[in-house]
Amino acid sequence: MTQMNITGRATRVAIISNNKYQSKRVASKLFATFKEDKDFYLSKKNPDIVISIGGDGMLLSAFHMYEKELDRVRFVGVHTGHLGFYTDYRDFEVDKLIENLRADKGEMISYPTLKVHITLEDGRIFTARAFNEATIKRIEKTMVADVIINKVKFERFRGDGLSVSTPTGSTAYNKSLGGAILHPTMEALQLTEISSINNRVYRTVGSSMIIPKKDHIEIVPKRQGVYTVSIDNKTMHYKNVVKVEYWIGSKTINFVATPFHTSFWERVKDAFIGDLDS
């Protein structure tokens, strides 16, 4: 756990909510409380703390809203739906959240993010940052692409596509694809196949691979056409992709380290296993 420098001024808080009735109720309560408190200043501009209200999807949106300010922002999530993996508080725990934010000393828990560069045939380069994962797929035909890890031409992939996830994203799409769960403090990426073709003629490694921070992944499509690239909850379509590169970014996502930011293994158990005694 590290600490963000907190000066004597009021803490700038941005409240981001989805449109659900329950989320709006939580947002109104937080607005009303912080408006009256001289230690807090409500502002969507240059916040110190971003409170996202909704679920993991809302937290992803909040991350992308403030992805250029990751150095100075800490996030905390309130979930109003059934399952929230990185949303620490339930809607009925808002009083606890307020109490914990009043006692906050700037402590944070940081997790790595993924940096992505997409190079097109015409020389354009698009850059993006992911909290969970980036995927590349070729929808209308088999995707054929070379996978290069640290300049080693590792395999020629054939199938639907490939996913590169952060440790945080290892419990999201990556898990559905059969990838491993990584503790989010581990500085590593995970490369996971999406329906690879494996037979006597075509071969891929088949299992997901954990790639350390120092290594760089490159995916080089071998066929012309339209590729679908997703970055968390956003999807883009690019024509004639030359290569997509992935590595662990220099910026982390920082969460407010409140007592409600529970153990990762507790979260995994809660989300995927449930109560052992039931």
Judged by the rule CB under 6 A, the positions of this chain that interact with ligand NAD are 55-57, 60, 83, 85-86, 132-133, 168-169, 171-173, 176, 232-233
Beta strands in 23-103 (DSSP E): 40-42, 49-54, 74-79, 89-90
CB nearer ligand NAD, residue 168 or residue 208: 168
Annotated catalytic residue, options 48, 56, 88, 232 = 56
From CA 168, how far away is CA 170, in angstroms rounded? 5
Q: Which is closer to ligand NAD, CB of 57 or CB of 225?
A: 57
Cα 48 off chain centre by:
19
Nearer Cβ to ligand NAD (12/77): 77
For 28, the 3-state DSSP assignment is helix
- CB 98, CB 30: distance < 8 Å: yes
C-alpha to C-alpha distance for 62 and 15, rounded to whole angstroms: 9
Provide the minimum distance between the beta carbon of 40 and ligand NAD in the complex, in angstroms, as a whole number.
28
Smallest distance, Å, CB 149 to ligand NAD? 22
Supply 109's token pair. Answer: 């828990």
Asked if 172 and 132 touch (Cβ cutoff 8 Å), the reply is yes
Tell me, yes or no, if 37 is annotated catalytic. Answer: no
Task: Return the residue nearest ligand NAD (CB atom).
Answer: 57
The distance of closest approach from Cβ of residue 171 to ligand NAD in the complex, given in angstroms and rounded to an integer, is 4
Q: To the nearest whole angstrom, how small is the minimum distance from the Cβ of residue 169 to ligand NAD?
A: 5
Which residue type does 32 have?
A
Nearer residue to ligand NAD within complex by CB, 34 or 173: 173
Catalytic residues: 56
